[in-house]
Amino acid sequence: MSIKDEPHFELQSDELASWIEKQGADRWWNVDGDPLLTGRITFPCPGDELAAELKRIHRPLLVQDKQKRPEAKGQEIKVDGVDGVVDRMENNVHVTGDKKPTWLKDRLLYLCWKGSGIEWLLVEDEETTEKSQTDLTQAAKQG
């Protein structure tokens, strides 16, 4: 089933951009499956770059409701409603063993541009975020 056939909400790309900015400009993100965004910027990318591009695009998105609430029938949500539709990698991937990878805690959203049949994922990239912060710290010590 597609996002539009499942419980979902509508979210303006500007509102998603504001939510990403609230997570921190130094937080990195990946996109899987969206030719529009991947054709415009390189991934993974920091949140400030992604947010700027989402604002430039200025189009509505459909976002799947991870809770599958029957009342989720395409109503518009704002930045404060995004946390309610965010999923986690750990809810979608089974990993065996005692040592769990850090990416299991990464947040993700199932999205599509309104009017498009192409569905895609926006995924937090904790590993790249940590690496970027380590690189910045080392560069500051050397500089």
pLDDT in tens, 41-55: 999 999 999 999 999
Name 1's Cβ contacts closer than 8 Å, sequence gap at least 6.
none
- CA 4 and chain centroid, separation: 18
The residue among 117 and 143 whose pLDDT is bigger is: 117
Is the bond into 101 cis (omega within 30 degrees of 0)?
Answer: no
Percent of the chain at pLDDT exceeding 70:
90
Q: With bands split at pLDDT 50, 70 and 90, how would you rate the model's confidence at 89?
A: confident
* pTM of the model as a whole: 0.87
- Report the distance separating Cα 18 and Cα 78, nearest Å: 9
pLDDT over threshold 90, residue 4: yes
Q: How many CB atoms lie within 10 A of CB 69?
A: 13
| Single-letter amino acid code for the residue at 44 | P
Which of left, alpha, beta for 74 (phi over 0: left; psi -120 to 50: alpha)? left
